[in-house]
Amino acid sequence: MADTTNAPAGWYPQGDGQQRYWNGESWTQHFAPSLSTQPASRPSSKPARLAGPGSRPFGKAAAFGWGGLALTAVIGALSSGFSGAAILAGLFTFVLGVIALARGRIGWARLRSRGAAGVVIGAALALLTIGAVAAPPPAPSSPGLPLTSRAAAPARNAAAETTTADSAAAEVAAAAAAAAADKAAADAAAKATADAAAATAKAASDAAAKTARDAAAKQAKAVAAASAKAQAAAQAKAAAQSRAQEAAAASAKAKAAAQAKASASAPPPPAATSYANCTAMHAVYKGGVALPGAVDHRSNGGHAKYAPVYNRALYEANSFSDRDGDGIACEA
């Protein structure tokens, strides 16, 4: 895009064929169709028509600015010579630098940053100092001067007053420059303090966020560990219950098998057979037969050698062989 730093406000062609409005300092968001069909309305001799990136037209603002600087220097030179020119040019340059420092840039003077404005203020202070040093001292008055010298005294007095005024102006400019420098230093210190405070706050915020993240991660880890422990305990309990159930089932199965085996191996209950005498009974039941719960009672206090078979039906069929009436028939 062409350099329009010093171009006056107006419409300028763009690379896409449209026109864009320049307000004298920056591009706006206003666009217009190209005027290629009206070549007479865009003469190439105007400074607003920028041919390339290297062209720098000399606009009205630049003419007034540089012209004002030159006029100020000429007036100072005519009034007080070199010192007057230096002092007035320094004052003009100082004001220009202060404006650039406040606004950030002055296009026609090629001041595009506050750093450049600071350089201009320094140059202005140098010019003011040179002008004050170069100012001629006032001429001493003498009562014995000839008439021509007395006639020239008013002119010399006027020059001395001008020099004094220039010196006062230089002092005022120097004081203003010092105040501006102090303000710039104070602003820089305040900015540095604000930046340091912001950095400290950010560091504290980052540390707090890291602490919170670490605490959350630790809590999540603890919760996960507790959950895993509870899950492991539940699994162990379920396994224990399963093993207990399996053991109970195996025990019940073994008991049922033992009962089935005992039932299969047990002899059938004896039939209610009536034997003619104890000899015939002893051939089958050595201890005889008895009622359930009967106890052997012998007069001599002895006991039977063999245990009887306790069966009510069998005893009733052979009760006639129970001679002592103790509920046991043919005990032996």
Q: How confident is the model at residue 89 (pLDDT cuts 50, 70, 90)?
A: confident
209 shares its domain with 86: yes
pLDDT over 70 percentage in the chain: 77
pLDDT band, very low/low/confident/very high, at 229 (cuts 50, 70, 90): very high
| pLDDT for position 239 | 93
Report the pLDDT value the prediction gives residue 210, as an integer from 0 to 100: 94
Radius of gyration of the chain (CA): 65
Quick one: 209 and 85 in the same domain?
A: yes
What pLDDT, on the 0 to 100 scale, is given for residue 151?
44
Determine the pLDDT at residue 299: 66
pLDDT of residue 244: 93
| Residue 98 and residue 110 in one domain | yes
Max CA-CA distance within the chain? 201
Residues 79 and 164 in one domain: yes
Give residue 36's domain range.
Answer: 1-54
Overall number of domains in the chain = 3
User: In this structure, are 46 and 171 located in the same domain?
Assistant: no
Q: How far apart are CA 113 and CA 182, in angstroms?
A: 19
Tell whether 188 and 316 lie within a shared domain.
no
Degrees to nearest 5, angle at CA 169 with 164 and 175: 125
Same domain, 213 and 286: no
Q: What percent of the chain has pLDDT over 90?
A: 25
Q: Is 224 within a domain?
A: no
Which residues are bridge partners to 57 per DSSP?
Answer: none
112 in the same domain as 131 = yes
pLDDT tens-digit profile of 180-227? Answer: 888 888 888 888 888 999 999 999 999 999 999 999 999 999 999 999
d(CA 103, CA 116): 12
Q: Are residues 181 and 118 in the same domain?
A: yes
> Is residue 240 domain-resident?
no
Whole-number Å distance between alpha carbons of 137 and 133:
10
Q: Which residue has the higher pLDDT, 42 or 188?
A: 188
Domain match, 34 and 132 both: no
pLDDT (tens digit per residue) in 152-183: 445 555 555 556 656 666 677 777 777 888 88
pLDDT, one tens digit per residue, over 271-327 is 788 899 999 999 999 889 999 988 887 766 667 788 899 999 999 999 998 888 888
**pTM (predicted TM-score):** 0.29
pLDDT at position 45: 36
Average pLDDT over every residue of 231-258: 91
How would residue 52 be classed by pLDDT, with cut points 50, 70 and 90?
A: very low
Question: How large is the average pLDDT for residues 16-38?
Answer: 82
Q: Would you say residue 85 lies in a domain?
A: yes
Contacts of residue 170, Cβ cutoff 8 Å, sequence gap at least 6: 87, 90, 128, 129, 131, 132
Of residues 264 and 133, more confidently modeled:
133
DSSP reduced 3-state for 21: strand
CB 173 within 8 A of CB 124: yes
Q: Are the C-beta atoms of residues 131 and 83 closer than 8 Å to each other? A: yes
Evaluate the CA torsion angle 70, 72, 77, 78 in order and state its sign: positive
* Predicted pLDDT at 268: 57
Does some domain include residue 272? no
Same structural domain for residues 36 and 75?
no
Instruction: Tell whether 70 and 122 lie within a shared domain.
Output: yes
